[in-house]
Amino acid sequence: MKQRGFRYCSSCKNKLQKWGKTSAGKQRWRCPACSTTATKSRPDLHHAFVFRGFVSWLLSKASQDELGMPDRTFRDQTAWCWNVPVPSVLTGECHHCVIVDGIRVSDQICLIARTTMFVIAWTWVPYESSAYWATFLGSLPAPAYVVCDGQKGLLKAISLCWPRTVVQRCRFHIWLNVKAKLTLHPESIAGQELLALTKDLLCVRTRRQARHWKQRLKRWYKQHQNYVNERTIKPHPKPRERRWRYTHERLRSAYHQLTKVTDDVLRSSYRPHSELPSTTNHVEGGVNSQIRTRLKHHRGMESKHQRVLVNWYLYTRSEGRKPTRFCL
């Protein structure tokens, strides 16, 4: 039976004996018969050490020149690390609230789903559409609430995959859409009042404030109804084209957008669950902005390497993640 700690010579098969240590501090072994020396090697530990350093560099802002070794040596040692697949984080757990959004990275879009605490899933698609969103959402259990930016394809996918899930639209995206229609300095009094009313929507927190805001929106339309519905006759309409148009189309569009999403944007104020967010900031600010910062630190990467960076960053933000040394 072999004794623990002893090795056998690869040439003469005799037992090796300890023979001091190397300059690096590793144990040296010597064969008493042929006088050859050797050290114990652990390729698995070496690969884990290299891969851990690769992921640490990938998610940091350090350049290759700041790693304490020639940049060509670092690239040669870590070339295989780009092909290591990211472990799956899907657990099948049903969450109370899920926040979904996407981010464009190079020529593809990453669809991300997360809770207020962790990232639960992501996937890569060429563009946002109801079909891609439906495939992505179909892999997740239906939550009680979903917070989104109100993109049409996403809303259609939610209605197909999660028909009983309550939709909460992001208030900040509504503010951006209304601001794009009215600008920050509307000329009309009705536009100025509607812009201020939309801005106040961001501060609604309680049920009482929500009811008061809905009443203000109704009073605004009652006061400016004639102005909103004004029509202009077209002097030379095209064949089969309507002979008139609304004079203040952008103002009318902004108002109807608010009326369509009133129940959605105020749902977080009516529900007693304090964990239900009213915006998608958990994804936009908590994930997407961090991804853009890391891509900026490593600008110049090719597309597939950028996707690897995003995959490992999202993996580190997931709940069931493991240390990178266990991902090989």
Task: Identify the band that residue 99 occupies on the pLDDT scale cut at 50, 70 and 90.
Answer: very high
In CATH, what class is 1-41? mainly beta
**Pairing outcome for strands 108-114 and 97-105:** antiparallel
pLDDT given for residue 2 in this prediction: 45
| Of the candidates 56, 63, 50, the residue with the CA atom closest to the CA atom of residue 300 | 63
pLDDT at 114 over 90: yes
pLDDT given for residue 325 in this prediction: 63
In angstroms, the first-to-last Cα distance of the chain is 33
- Architecture per CATH, 42-170+279-328: 2-Layer Sandwich (3.30)
CA–CA separation, 99 vs 145, rounded Å? 9
Which two three-digit tokens encode residue 13?
A: 């098969």
**Pairing outcome for strands 145-148 and 166-169:** parallel
Write down the domain spans for the chain.
1-41, 42-170+279-328, 186-275
Comparing 39 with 55, the larger pLDDT belongs to 55
Which two three-digit tokens encode residue 47?
A: 């690969």
pLDDT given for residue 151 in this prediction: 87
pLDDT given for residue 250 in this prediction: 93
Task: Identify the band that residue 217 occupies on the pLDDT scale cut at 50, 70 and 90.
Answer: very high
Mean pLDDT calculated for residue range 145-156:
90
Edge-to-edge strand order for the sheet containing 145-148? 119-125, 108-114, 97-105, 145-148, 166-169
For 40-90, what is each residue's pLDDT tens digit?
Answer: 777 777 788 889 989 999 999 988 888 888 889 999 999 999 999 998 888
| Of the candidates 194, 232, 200, the residue with the CA atom closest to the CA atom of residue 213 | 200
Mean pLDDT calculated for residue range 139-163:
91
| Of the candidates 261, 263, 279, the residue with the CA atom closest to the CA atom of residue 271 | 263
DSSP symbol at 66: G
- In the three-class reduction of DSSP (H, G, I as helix; E, B as strand; rest coil), residue 298 is classed as coil
What is the Cβ-side half-sphere exposure of residue 163, based on CA atoms within 13 angstroms?
1
Mean pLDDT calculated for residue range 146-161:
91
Which two three-digit tokens encode residue 205?
A: 């927190």
pLDDT given for residue 205 in this prediction: 77
pLDDT given for residue 208 in this prediction: 83
CA–CA separation, 182 vs 252, rounded Å? 10
- In the three-class reduction of DSSP (H, G, I as helix; E, B as strand; rest coil), residue 245 is classed as strand
User: Model's pTM, two decimal places?
Assistant: 0.78
Please check whether residue 328 is in contact with residue 48, taking contact to mean a CB–CB distance below 8 angstroms.
Answer: yes
- In the three-class reduction of DSSP (H, G, I as helix; E, B as strand; rest coil), residue 235 is classed as coil
Q: What is the mean pLDDT of the chain?
A: 86
Task: Identify the band that residue 222 occupies on the pLDDT scale cut at 50, 70 and 90.
Answer: very high
Mean pLDDT calculated for residue range 280-300:
91
